[in-house]
Structure 1
């Protein structure tokens, strides 16, 4: 049955669409401005003439970026961090969430461990003990300093735990009748049925590792070990005048720090923009089911 809408309800719908469109434009505007700056001329950027379109269109910033070995080394470190960090986060989150999703009869000390986990979300040991702990394990200036301190994301554990608890108990009972053990239940029943929640925590892990810059700044003593976001945060174009050729001088005369940095920011965003569309369809479903307790 189709219900005819009144003009007031139609006006309200159009107002909501207008507000959402304006908010979307506000979100896209900084990204679009960065793209325009990366393709603009040095003088136009310095004069503040670049708005919604490039002024003096050129590809010099991207040409210079392809010659920057430090950028690609930092890019590689961030990719390595995501590969190691996401794998560790995924395994440890699943191994912790599954026993915590069991009842007290099945796991006697479940509530005690759960309180310890929740406590870590509200209180931390402090910045200095955190740094001293990592230093005492001789992890400074290694990739492990970037992935091990955040190996168990508590929010992801709670999200996946609640999702496991939403799975019908009849499946577990059927598995137990067939002689399935805990490992079989986790790997063959719970994980395959938890794709939305797993995709959500994977997205959290990827975005968290990719965007993190502060730990790289503190835990890496050598700039050569900086991940990409730390490298971008410390962006400084250093020019050795003894090694600059006439061709490079002409290039630098048309290129500014702002255009080069904008190009680096755009390139650094590409991996997340490529990954997000594939996981976004699971995001709302995983968050909704994983955040509701029975």
Structure 2
């Protein structure tokens, strides 16, 4: 299984095969087209595997002697010990999905299904003036478009900035779990 994960990490499919697979499964213009192609990251699988391999074997043997099944060992011993690595992987996925706009650009035709980053990209790249029709006569008093664009970009990173401090204490431990020890 590890060999398959490593091969998928080294030889990732390109843009066209991924698009054809998404189209074959009728996921175009569906939110599942944003979730499923990136649902399992080979890098994250390797990080989590490295953590589980480094769990003390004595702990697992003691649970087996007490009569615990493999699922009980996983649920009652391995998962509580793996909070750090799961927090790191969750942060990686969260930041990855939060910043993703390219898959939405490829797979979503309906603008009502666009994620926030796609809306921001359209606004910032195209220079579309948001709210000028509603403002009417107040357009002259409005701040410059560049100022509004930068304010929207800063506001879009607020959720990540809020979540990161809660996961930061787990981050160093979770990332260094699979590292080479000296």
Per-residue deviation at 1:127?
Answer: 1.0
1:237 deviates by 2.3
Go from structure 1 to structure 2 and tell me whether the alpha carbon gap of 1:159 and 1:292 turns closer, same or farther (over 3 Å shift).
Answer: farther
Query: TM-score of the superposition, structure 1-length normalised?
Result: 0.57
Structure 2 equivalent of residue 248 of structure 1:
136
Q: Please, which runs of 5 or more residues in structure 2 have no aligned partner?
A: none
Partner of 1:237: 128
State the 1:210 CA deviation. 0.4
Q: Within 5 Å, which residues of 2 pair with 1:213-224?
A: 213-224=101-112
Tell me by how many angstroms 1:285 deviates. 1.0
Counterpart residue number, 2:90: 202
Residue-pair matches, total? 178
CA offsets 1:15-39 (integer angstroms, 9 cap, x no match): xxxxxxxxxxxxxxxxxxxxxxxxx
Name the SS for the 2:157 alignment partner: helix
Q: Which residue of 1 aligns with 2:99?
A: 211
* Equivalent position SS for 1:149: helix
Q: Which runs of 4+ in 1 moved over 3 A?
A: 238-241
Q: 1:4-43 alignment to 2 at 5 Å?
A: none
Q: Distance in 1 between matches of 2:167 and 2:130?
A: 41
Q: 1:186 aligned to 2:77?
A: no
Q: Which moved more, 1:230-239 or 1:184-193?
A: 230-239
Deviation, 1:239, is 7.2
Residue 272 of structure 1, CA deviation: 0.2
Change (3 A) 1:181 1:224: same
C-alpha distance after superposition, 1:25-63 (max 9, x if no partner): xxxxxxxxxxxxxxxxxxxxxxxxxxxxxxxxxxxxxxx
1:281 corresponds to 2:172: no
C-alpha contact (below 8 Å) 1:213/1:227 kept by paired residues:
yes
Q: Deviations over 1:100-155 (max 9, x none)?
A: xxxxxxxxxxxxx2111101111122211100110111111111111111111111
8 Å CA contact 2:122, 2:128 repeated in 1? no
- Per-residue deviation at 1:260? 1.8
Aligned to 2:27: 139
**Cα distance change on mapping 1:185 and 1:251 into 2, 3 Å:** same
Counterpart for residue 157 of structure 1? 45
Equivalent residues of 1:121, 1:154 under 8 A apart:
yes
* Structure 2 CA distance for aligned equivalents of residues 278 and 240 of structure 1: 35
The 3 A distance-change label for structure 1 pair 282 and 239 is closer
3-state DSSP of counterpart to 2:27: coil
- Map 1:111-150 to 2 at 5 A: 113-150=1-38
Q: 1:251 to 1:164 in 2, by over 3 A?
A: same
Go from structure 1 to structure 2 and tell me whether the alpha carbon gap of 1:186 and 1:238 turns closer, same or farther (over 3 Å shift): same
Aligned partners of 1:253 and 1:123: how far apart in 2? Answer: 54
Unaligned runs of 5+ in 1: 1-112
Following TM superposition, by how much is the alpha carbon of 1:257 offset from its aligned partner in structure 2, in angstroms? 2.1
